[in-house]
Amino acid sequence: MDIKQYMTEVGQRARNASHAMAKADTAAKNRALTLIAAAIRRDADALRAANKKDLDAARANGLEAAMLDRLTLSDKAIATMAEGLEQIVSLPDPIGEISNMKYRPTGIQVGQMRVPLGVIGIIYEARPNVTVDAAGLCIKSGNATILRGGSEALHCNQALAKLVSEGLAGAGLPADAVQIVETTDRAAVGEMITMPQYIDVIVPRGGKGLIERLMKESKVPMIKHLDGICHVYIDDKADLKKALDIGFNAKCHRYGTCNTMETLLVARSIASTVLPELAKLYATEKVELRGDDEARAILKGYAHLASATEEDWSTEYLAPVLAVKIVADVDEAIAHINKYSSQHTDSIITEDYTRSMRFIREVDSASVMVNASTRFADGFEYGLGAEIGISNDKLHARGPVGLEGLTSLKYVVFGHGEIRE
Amino acid sequence: MDIKQYMTEVGQRARNASHAMAKADTAAKNRALTLIAAAIRRDADALRAANKKDLDAARANGLEAAMLDRLTLSDKAIATMAEGLEQIVSLPDPIGEISNMKYRPTGIQVGQMRVPLGVIGIIYEARPNVTVDAAGLCIKSGNATILRGGSEALHCNQALAKLVSEGLAGAGLPADAVQIVETTDRAAVGEMITMPQYIDVIVPRGGKGLIERLMKESKVPMIKHLDGICHVYIDDKADLKKALDIGFNAKCHRYGTCNTMETLLVARSIASTVLPELAKLYATEKVELRGDDEARAILKGYAHLASATEEDWSTEYLAPVLAVKIVADVDEAIAHINKYSSQHTDSIITEDYTRSMRFIREVDSASVMVNASTRFADGFEYGLGAEIGISNDKLHARGPVGLEGLTSLKYVVFGHGEIRE
């Protein structure tokens, strides 16, 4: 198989399908999503059989347990995929909305219309549910999609893609609006990220290694985040209960997520009050605390205490480990965050109005919070309905990205014969 | 001079200054703009003297007349720069605005705050007024800027940059918030477009050659457009007067601008009525008409008639030349535009409601118009107050880009101690 030729054909089909998708009405898109959800429920047995082929091959190849777990399509995962599509049906259609329509002194009316981006490329690892979630969001936002899932999940992804295309066709939409890359050859990824004529934006979903590699070589813009080094700063005007609740929740609710706190900053004048109390909570989860000199002095006797090095301030542990630093005040906290944060999510705990406003304004991250757990940085929690990914970049979408991040605003002008004088 | 070392220092100073600019209040930014405008008026003689040095050198180097013209800082240009800054003072400050603040079922309030992008790099050719216009927009939007003007204008740009820094300092803002690159070595541009750690976005202003070169090598996102192949489609339900007014204005109001019509599409059933009338107007300006076979048959006898080849459909003439094609209907017009347009600006002339709505929805360009001249695609005409450039891309800003295009939206969360369950 000539990969370049194959991917060019996939790209051309996607570009053609994108024109039909861009003008598809809401009813047709919702009908397709509903048909796909029904087909997934109807063909649950076949999906599990396809998934078994993938799992057998993966076990034979000695894939590790965590990877096998992500690859597994359980009954619950199948039900969740179908429900996810139905939730997308219930979201408002963003496409075609015209905003800010205003008369100008010349007589023309100028506004902006929300339109699809065109073709979205999704590059992801083992999890087969991404195939359906991403397809659903792209359909609703009027985009065509090229999906390149992990090679371990190929059989399952093929089975799912067949149901998606069937649903599209059933609603009178082009079956090519969602295509999966049918080869496991890695060169296909190289083609995807270098064909801006066919793909308008790439959404990479996966580990830091995958995303770093793509960033280096991509000629197509990406919606992505590399890591989540999130901070909570406990100010000396913090409410102690809120500080303890959030300090514990932001670290211990889940360890492996990008919005989990990785560094705790504590104002010097309340550190000896708040840190020992927090340590009691962390002890229940055996969280390792990596403190600077001052923090270690306060935490002396804590069972899982270690020294923080410079490297810890920019490490995403994704584990029960927390870097702890004592700072003088909100100024030092903001300076530390703007230096070391990955611009994902940072939160201040304070009852002080002016400091809360300064933190919100001056911390340069995708999500900035007052008195809330960093774990809330999530498309569903923010009310976007669903999430295609999270962006740490400042251009285009920033933070959790829902349907709107898959769209663009074009100017529309309603005239009455006006010419420029 | 070690260019890499020099540009790294410029970049670091810009990044540092960007933090102070991001939190600067509206009054300070407006004060800086007002001081700069006053200094430009005060030092008009010195500016002209610096400009004379550049012009003398340019003449000695045999620069062509058009280039010399762009390089010249006339009394009017000096006055216009100062007025431009005062206009920017009168624009609302976009920074800090919080929108869409909503309570979520968990109790948190989620909204979005408009914030600066950080550091903007501007790469432009001879025109010295860009130095002041771009600096003004970046100051108002709370960004730091690195300006790399054409080497021909270095003396003049240095003189202007000195006044800008003086105005910033006078308003208590960092003088480094606007820096010009003080070397004419082309390697400096290579550094700018490969230092994403110091520059968040590049705005290239200049010819297609410059922008194509930058696109190939840039590691920093760009706000740019390559060319403007704009269309007017005269539908068979067009009002004849509107068709003639707009068909003439879109081509002949100015030839060298990116929003000038380059291809005229005419519905077959009215072509023999409208084209001869239009040709009478074009004849007054000696516009060369490059028609397809049908158009040429209708225009037989027109003094400046030529044959259109495939290449003409994707050529930006920037001259009194117009490609003319007969199409069956709005479907063929939309298909032609979506194939050949540079996605800049396209307009339909029609009295038919459904066709106007289809054109607006289905033409995939930054500006789509009904019954208006393509020449209106401009930041000032759209009410943006000023324009840093025009984008043909779909991500981030699209169409004329004003202050808002130099900003980003971050999520802000106001909590009351909420944790994720």
Residue A210: band (very low, low, confident or very high) from pLDDT cuts 50, 70, 90: confident
Q: Is the pLDDT of residue A127 over 90?
A: no
Q: How far is CA B116 from the centre of its chain?
A: 19
**Angle, in degrees to the nearest 10, between helices A26-42 and A129-140:** 160
Instruction: Give the number of C-alpha atoms closer than 13 A to the C-alpha of residue B305, restricted to the C-beta side.
Output: 17
Report the distance separating Cα B316 and Cα B318, nearest Å.
6
Q: How distant is the Cα of B212 from the closest Cα of chain A, in angstroms?
A: 14
Q: How far is CA A186 from CA A149, A156, A281, in A?
A: 11, 18, 46
Q: Which of B102, B253, B416 sits opposite A383 (nearest CB)?
A: B102
For residue A27, what pLDDT band results from cuts at 50, 70 and 90?
very high
pLDDT at B225: 86
Q: What is the DSSP letter of A369?
A: E
How far away is chain A from the Cα of B254, in angstroms, using its nearest Cα?
Answer: 10
Judging contacts by C-beta atoms under 8 Å, the chain B residues touching residue A253 are 419-420
Interchain pair B383, A110: CB under 8 A = yes
Contact between B317 and B232 under an 8 Å Cβ cutoff? The reply is no
- Would you state the pLDDT for residue A207? 82
Q: How far is B63 from chain A (nearest CA, A)?
A: 32
Residue in B362, B321, B319, B400 with CA at minimum distance from that of residue B233: B362
Q: Tell me, what's the pLDDT at A216?
A: 87
- The pTM for the full model equals 0.93
Does the pLDDT value for residue A316 go beyond 90? yes
Quick check: B249 pLDDT over 90? yes
CB contact under 8 A, B415 and A104: no
pLDDT at A206 over 90: no
Check CB contact under 8 Å for A246 and B108.
Answer: no
Q: How far is B292 from chain A (nearest CA, A)?
A: 26
Q: Going by C-beta distance under 8 Å and a sequence separation of 6 or more, which residues neighbour residue A403?
A: A91, A94, A137, A140, A141, A384, A385, A386
- Per CB-CB distance under 8 Å, the chain B contacts of A385 are none
Report CB contact under 8 Å: A253, B419: yes
| Confidence at residue A241, expressed as pLDDT on a 0 to 100 scale | 98
B376 and A415 in contact by Cβ < 8 A?
Answer: yes
Q: Which of A373, A392, A409, A416 to mutate to test the interface with B (most CBs of B within 10 A)?
A: A373
User: Which of B25, B99, B413 is the best mutation test for A, with the most CBs of A within 10 A?
Assistant: B413
CA distance B335 to chain A (A): 10
Three-class SS state of A20: helix
Give the integer Cα–Cα distance in Å for A400 and A381. Answer: 10
Inter-residue long-range contacts of B19-22, CB under 8 Å, 24+ positions, other chains counted: B19/A338, B19/A362, B19/A364, B20/B173, B20/B174, B20/B177, B21/B116, B21/B139, B21/B142, B21/B143, B21/B144, B21/B173, B21/B174, B21/B177, B22/A361, B22/A362, B22/A364, B22/B95, B22/B115, B22/B116, B22/B118, B22/B142
Question: What's the mean pLDDT in B112-122?
Answer: 97
Residue A345 is predicted with a pLDDT of 98
Cβ proximity of A181 and A153 under 8 Å: no
Q: Which residues of B382-396 are buried (b: 16+ CB within 10 A; e: fewer)?
A: bebbbbbbbbbbbbb
Q: Sheet containing A178-180: which strands, arranged edge to edge?
A: A178-180, A144-148, A119-124, A201-205
pLDDT(A208) > 90: no
pLDDT tens string A69-81: 889 999 999 999 9
Q: Is B186 exposed, middle or buried (0-12, 13-18, 19+ CB in 10 A)?
A: exposed
pLDDT for A126 equals: 75
Predicted confidence at residue A67, as pLDDT, reads 85
pLDDT for B206:
80
Among A6-15, A119-128, A276-285, B302-311, which is the least confidently predicted range? A119-128
Nearest Cβ partner for B415 among A369, A408, A419 = A369
Residues A51 and A155 sit within 8 Å (Cβ to Cβ):
yes
**B370/A23 CB distance under 8 A:** no
Q: What is the per-residue burial (b if ≥16 Cβ within 10 Å, else e) of A73-111?
A: beeebbeebbebbeebbebebbbbeeeeeeeeeeebbbb
**A156 to chain B nearest CA, in Å?**
32
- Say if residue B126's pLDDT is above 80: no
Tell me whether residues B367 and A413 touch, CB distance under 8 A: yes
**3-state DSSP call for residue A420?**
coil
Write the residue in A108, A373, A409 that is nearest to B418 by C-beta: A373
DSSP lists the bridge partners of residue B347 as: B232, B369
Per DSSP bridges, beta strands B109-116 and A144-148 are unpaired
Q: Which of B197, B412, B416, B421 to probe by mutation at the A interface, max A CB count within 10 Å?
A: B412
Q: Which of A132-136, B135-139, B224-228, B277-281 has the lowest mean pLDDT?
A: B224-228
Band of residue A314 on the pLDDT scale cut at 50, 70, 90: very high
Chain B contacts of A419, Cβ < 8 Å? 245-246, 248-250, 253, 372-373, 375
Q: How far is CA B257 from CA A104, B102, B265, B344, B350, in A?
A: 21, 43, 20, 12, 25
Residues of A in contact with B418 (CB under 8 A): 371-373, 376
The residue-averaged pLDDT of A296-315 equals 97
Chain B hits for A115, Cβ within 8 Å: 361, 364
Q: Best of B257, B344, B373 to disrupt the A interface by mutation (most A CBs within 10 Å)?
A: B373
- Give the mean pLDDT of A131-148: 96
The minimal CB distance from A110 to the residues B117, B118, B382 is found for: B382
Residue B255 banded pLDDT, cuts 50, 70, 90: very high
Q: What own/partner pairs with CB < 8 Å and gap ≥ 24 does B135-138 have?
A: B135/B36, B135/B161, B135/B164, B135/B178, B136/B33, B136/B36, B136/B84, B136/B85, B136/B88, B136/B386, B137/B88, B137/B386, B137/B388, B137/B402, B137/B403, B137/B406, B138/B177, B138/B178, B138/B406
Least confidently predicted of A168-172, A175-179, A320-324, B222-226? B222-226
In chain B, residues with a C-beta closer than 8 Å to the C-beta of A371 are 414-418
SS3 A312: helix
- Among residues A237, A287, A236, the alpha carbon closest in space to that of A263 is found at A287
Residues of chain A above pLDDT 70, percent: 100
Structure tokens at A358: 């300064």
Predicted confidence (pLDDT) at residue A1 exceeds the cutoff of 80: no
The reported pLDDT for the residue numbered B66 is 82
To the nearest whole angstrom, how far is the Cα of A326 from the nearest Cα of chain B? 22
Provide the pLDDT confidence category of residue B210 given band limits of 50, 70 and 90: confident
**From the CA of B308, how many Å to the nearest CA of chain A?**
25
Closest A-chain CA to B23? A362
Contact A270, A396 (CB under 8 A): no
Partners of A368 on chain B (C-beta within 8 Å) are 113, 410-413
The residues with which B110 forms a beta bridge, in sequence order, are B102, B413
Q: Confirm if A143 and A114 have CB atoms less than 8 A apart.
A: no
Closest CA in chain B for residue A349? B417
Mean pLDDT rounded to a whole number for chain B: 95
Q: b/e map of B191-206 (b: 16 or more CB within 10 Å)?
A: bbbebbebbbbbbbbb
What's the pLDDT at A2?
93
pLDDT attached to residue B411 = 98
Per CB-CB distance under 8 Å, the chain A contacts of B253 are: 419-420
Interchain contact, B253 vs A420, CB within 8 Å:
yes
Concatenated DSSP letters of A39-63: HHHHTHHHHHHHHHHHHHHHHHTT-
A vs B, Cβ pairs < 8 A, gives 219
**Mutant choice from A222, A331, A380, A395 vs B, greatest count of B C-beta within 10 A:** A395
Instruction: Give the residue on B whose Cα is nearest the Cα of A414.
Output: B370
Residue of A346, A409, A411 for testing the chain B interface, max B β-carbons within 10 Å = A411
Per-residue H/E/C for B147-185: EECCHHHHHHHHHHHHHHHHHHHHCCCCHHHEEECCCCC
Q: What is the mean pLDDT of residues B263-271?
A: 98
Quick check: B70 pLDDT over 90?
no
Nearest CA in chain A to B97: A361
